[in-house]
Structure 1
């Protein structure tokens, strides 16, 4: 299947504290006919899973997420209340550096 024969791919980025908002945006994007890639495992005591990973695992997940950004046709940043933490800002800088179109989605402020 060529790039032109498939739906657009969007990569979702955002703070681990907003995984519910990211899931909501994933549903919206999927229903709009887009293929969604997003963080599936996050390392944060504030994440719904409460998963705490060692530095090697965090580094591997960061590398994997950057690969998802490179794969995407567009990178969507979920920013409830306008919040964007340092990791998400780094992902934004990376997406811009590799020339990806970006979109900011405010999400639900109640997720904060």
Structure 2
């Protein structure tokens, strides 16, 4: 009698989210130059009943946490890894803004490599369209 194969980490996460009856989770991606648009997207997605995760630090705006260039570079690396974790957690990605830079392009590719659907506020910037 064949035994079912154990779930991998992604399957375990999906199963746990289903068992907990969690709402759909959306990760907002894009350049932090679009932080106002990200906040608007957060508002709209939340009003639609979705859990939203998004960048929490706008390193383009001055702040003591990233005023030292060496510390800023280390923080950026940690924030990039944190955002990849948010992408793994999410059910889909929403790319905000009418510009796709290298970091956002990498986020899109990462989400798609995990089989996550990717939506765009400006579909014409989809690098795979």
TM-score normalised according to structure 2 size: 0.72
Separation of aligned partners in 2, 1:105 and 1:23: 13
TM-score normalised according to structure 1 size: 0.82
Aligned to 1:62: 80
Q: How many residues align?
A: 100
User: Cα RMSD between the aligned structures?
Assistant: 1.6
Instruction: Give per-residue Cα distances to partners, 1:28-82, cap 9 Å, x unaligned.
Output: 00000000000011322xx4xx344521111000000000000000111002xx3
- Note the residue ranges of structure 2 that are not aligned, 5 or more in a row: 1-14, 123-129
Which one scores higher on RCO, CA 8 angstroms, separation ≥ 6?
1
Aligned to 1:7: 23
Aligned to 1:34: 50
- Note the residue ranges of structure 1 that are not aligned, 5 or more in a row: 107-112
